[in-house]
Structure 1
Amino acid sequence: MGELPEHVAVNREYWDAMAHEWVAAGERSWQEVEPSWGQWGIPESETPLLPDDMTGMRAIELGCGTAYVSGWMARRGAAVTGIDNSAEQLRTARRLADQHGVALDLIHGNAESVPRADESFDFAISEYGAAIWADPYRWIPEAHRLLRPGGTLVFLGNHAFVSVCSPLDGSFPITRRLERPYFGSHRLDWRDAVDDPGGIEFTLTHSAWIKLFRATGFEVVDLVEIQAPADATGVRSGISAEWARDFPSEHVWTVRKR
C-alpha cells in the first residue's frame, strides 16, 4: 500500500482518536428493530433507504463505522461487506456483530479504493461515512466499479446548506446567513475549527453531484432533502432543530448504475 492521501490519513487519525465517543450510539443502533437515519433519527418507514427484502443480495457499506447499517442489511438477508478507515471503529463493529450473532465481512481500508473485484455487489450504502469523509470524485467512481449493472447506491450526508451557513472559523452554531461560497466548496478542512475541531470533509453543489453521477455512469433515482421532525429538539453538530426545520441539513441520494 502506498502513502495515504492527506485527507484519508487525517481522517483516520481523527476517527481512531474519537471512536470511543461513538460506542454507546453504535450499541443503541445495533439494538434498533427498525432502522432510523441521520442526525434526526428519521424512521425507515418515512424515508426508506434499504430494500425490504435483501435475501440473496450482496451489499457493501462504505464507511461503516460501528457497522449497525451493515447489521440491518444482514438481518434483511444480505451478504454484507463493510469498509472503514478507522481500526478503532472496526474494533467496536466486530464486537457488536459477534454480540448480535451477525456475520459481516469487515475491511480496514479506504472507501476510495476497496479491495474487492469489479461488479461484486448489488447494493451500496453510506450514512455519513464515505458520503462526507471521502472525496466524491474518487469514491463515487469506486462505488460504480463495485456495483453490478443495475445496482443501487444510496448515501446520506450533509446538505450543501450546512456548509454555506457554517462560519468560516468553524464556530457553532451554523447561522441563517450565507457564510461562505456555494461554488467551489468541495473540500472543507475543520482541523482548526473554533468549536469541535475535526477532520477533512467533502461536499458538492447539487449540479456538481448530478454532473458527477452522469459522467460516472449513474442515473439519479431520487433525492430527499431531510427536514427535522416537528417534535425534534436540541442541537446536532452545531445545527439546531429549529434551523433544520426551515432548511435541509441532510440529503439522501439514490442512484442506479447504468
Structure 2
Amino acid sequence: MSAGSATPPPGSDGRAGVVSRPVGPAESAVASRGWWDDEAGRYQAEHGAFLGDVDFVWCPERLREADAALLGPPAALVGARVLEVGCGAASCSRWLIDRGADAVGVDLSAGMLREARAADVRSGIAVPLVQADASHLPFPDATFDLACSAFGAVPFVADTAGLMAEVARVLRPGGRWVFAVNHPLRWIFPDDPGEDGLCVTQSYFDRTPYAEADDDGRVIYVEHHRTLGDRIADVVGAGLVLEGLVEPEWPPDLEEVWGQWSPLRGALFPGTAIFRCRRPR
C-alpha cells in the first residue's frame, strides 16, 4: 500500500488549516507532489514495517494479494507486464517482480521514489521507476497486461475520469485494473479512529475535496471524494468492465490503528473499497 492510505486530521502537521473549496487538477498535482516529497520519510518510518519491502498489502485491513489473488492466479503473474499506479515505496511492484512479473512503478513524488530506491537496496529487488502524474501516463497504448494501485494516486487526483481513461489506454485488451481507495462511505465520518469517528458529520453527496492550506492560502494537501456511483461511472466511462467490488472486513486479531482505521470502526463499517476492472477484448 502506497502513500495516502490515511487522511491526516485537520491541521495535523501544524502547517495547515482546512479549506472548503474546489481544487482543480493542476493545483491538486502540485499539492500532492509537495506533500509526499516532504512526508515520504516520515510515512515510511511509521508504516514501512506494516507494508514491508517485498509485500503486496491492499489496505489497512491487512488483505494481501497473496491471499486474495485479485490480479489473477499466481501463474498469470509470471511474465506479465504490470503497472503500479502511485507506487510509493513500490513494495507491491517488488512483490510482483519476486513472483515473475515484469512490473513498473509510477509515482508523482520524487520523495517516495527515493524511498523506493532505498527499499530496492535493502531487498535486493530493483523496480523500474518512473516519476509521472497518473493522469498523464508516459507509456504507449496497450503496454500492460495488468495495472494496480493500493491507495496510490486515485484519491489525490481531481480528474478521476481522466485517470481511468489513461489506465484503460495503456492496458492491453483483456487486461485487468484493480485499485483500492478509502471506502466512499467513510467520507461522512470524521477521520478519527475513536468514538468521535462514529458520528456522521457531513453529506455523502458533498464532493468538495478535503484540503489543507498554508497561511498564504496555498493548498498543500488534498483528497478528492467520489461516491460509489461516481467511481463506477468513471470505470464504465473509460470503457472498462467492473468485475467486482471488494469491501474487506476487519480481521478479529488486528489491533493496530492506522490513521482513521481502527478495530472499533472496522467492526461497524467498511474502510476500504477495492474495484476489480477489466478492459474488454
Matching residue's letter, 2:202: R
1:198 & 1:160 partners in 2: Cα distance?
A: 22
Name the structure 2 match of 1:202: 224
Is 1:29 paired with 2:47?
A: no
Report the secondary structure of 2:198's partner residue: coil
In 2, the alpha carbon distance for the partners of 1:90 and 1:45 equals 24
2:235 matched to 1:219? no
Query: For residues 220 and 86 of structure 2, what CA distance do their matches in structure 1 show?
Result: 17
Greater relative contact order structure (CA < 8 Å, 6+ sep)? 2
Which residue among 43, 67, 82 is the counterpart of 2:90? 67
Letter matched to residue 258 of structure 2: R
Quote how far apart the aligned CAs of 1:146 are: 1.0
Tell me if structure 2 keeps the 8 A contact 1:59–1:79. yes
Distance 1:59 1:129 in 2: 15
Match of 1:156 in 2: 180
Aligned: 1:105 with 2:128: yes
Q: CA deviation digits over 1:154-177, x for unaligned, max 9?
A: 0111001211112xxx67756223
Identical aligned pairs, as a percentage? 29
Note the 1:246-257 alignment, pairs <5 A: 246-257=268-279
In structure 2, the residue matched to 1:38 is 59
Q: Is the 8 A contact 1:27 1:96 kept in 2?
A: no
Distance 1:200 1:229, change over 3 A: same
Inter-CA distance 27–165: structure 2 relative to 1 (3 Å threshold): closer
Structure 2 segments unaligned to the other structure (5+ residues)? 1-24
Structure 1's unaligned 5+ residue stretches are none
Q: TM-score, normalised by structure 2?
A: 0.80
Aligned length: 247
The answer for the alignment partner of 1:9 in structure 2 is 30
Q: Deviations over 1:180-203 (max 9, x none)?
A: 1111426322448xxxx9721123
Equivalent position to 2:68, from 27, 31, 47: 47
Q: TM-score, normalised by structure 1?
A: 0.87
Counterpart CA distance in 2 for 1:191 and 1:147 is: 36
SS at match of 1:49: coil
Pick closer, same or farther for the CA change 1:221–1:8 going to 2, 3 Å. Answer: same
